[in-house]
Every structure is written in C-alpha cells, then in structure tokens.
Amino acid sequence: MADCKASFLAFCDATKKGSDKASDKTIKKIFTDCKVFPALKMTSNDMDISISSYKGKAKLKGDLDYNNFCAFITHFCAEAATKKKVSDAAKAEADVKKLIADNKPSAHGATAASKDDATSRLTDVKGYTGAHKERFDADTGKGKGKEGREYVADKKAAEGYVGGYKNMDTYNKK
C-alpha cells in the first residue's frame, strides 16, 4: 500500500505544508475527497466519534502518523461493521485503502483565475497611469511594496534645500 501512504502524505501536506501527520481535519478531508463516507454509509459525525474513541483506546494525543492512521481505518471499518453499515470489515478496509490510494487532494471552493479580455486589460500594470503607475516595476510588473506607496524624502529635501540648487554646503566656505 505504498500508494496509500503517498496519498496520505499528499493530503497531510495539502492541509498543513510540510506535515507528515494527519489531524482530525485532515482525516475528514481525506475521507471526503476520497468518498469514503458514502462507501461505508457513515457520516463525518461518525468519524469524529470514532477518532475520539480510537485516540482514547490507544492513549494518543494530537495528530496521527501513517501507522496510526492505518490502525484508525481498521477501527473505523470495524465500527461500520458493528453498526451493520457494511457486511465485512476486512473487505471494507481494503476498499477504503484503495479509495485513498486512488485519490489526491482537491481544492474545495477555490476560484480559478479569470482569463477574459476585460480582466487581463484591467490587471495589466503597463496601462496604469498617475500615482498607480509608481506602485509597480515597469519591467517585471511586480509591485514595489512600501516604496511604491510612500514618498521617501531624500536628504537634501529634508534639510530644506531646493532640488535645483547646486551649491549645497558652500555658504560658510570661503
């Protein structure tokens, strides 16, 4: 079940970057994206209760690593069989692991970038004028950050000299 482990790690990373452990939220995402709930005729509430009972029996705190996750799948399928939602817990466990191995994380509610002409024209920084033009680098189109938003006075202007005055600091010199 190396594919199942790869899929498990992909879900963990998708929920929390760099993580190799699954929180309750991650397990719920795995079961939702992989359609485990309909396969076992169980709900997310059943899963929450099952996670709590599993962690209590195993004396675990925090997130589950891959081995604990596999043990939880066994526990969850056994509960499904106990509630007469599935006929065989071992077959259900194999089916769940196959479902997880065959799926990868997907983005729910994510909005795709618009590609129509009006949006591209409005977001092209080359067409900006006035004060907005100063907020973006002309070559790359990337924002300048604070430099683009605030005017930073140079040393001469802070000392009261006019920009065109060429003989600064020469008044007291002979």
Contacts of 103 (CB under 8 A, 6+ apart): 7, 33, 34, 35
Task: Give the tens place of pLDDT for each residue, 2-11.
Answer: 688 899 999 8
Comparison of pLDDT for 132 and 28, the residue scoring more: 28
User: In order of start, what are the domains of the chain with their CATH numbers?
Assistant: 4-102 (1.10.238.10), 117-159 (no CATH)
pTM of the model: 0.61
Comparison of pLDDT for 99 and 154, the residue scoring more: 99
Per-residue confidence (pLDDT) for residue 28, from 0 to 100: 92
| Residue in 33, 37, 97 with CA at minimum distance from that of residue 71 | 97
Task: Give the tens place of pLDDT for each residue, 50-91.
Answer: 999 998 888 888 899 999 999 999 999 888 888 888 888 888
Mean pLDDT on 107-130: 77
Rounded Cα distance between 41 and 121, Å, is 49
Rounded Cα distance between 17 and 76, Å, is 26
Lookup: tokens for 134: 């100063």
Lookup: tokens for 108: 């729910």
| Residue in 28, 76, 26 with CA at minimum distance from that of residue 53 | 76
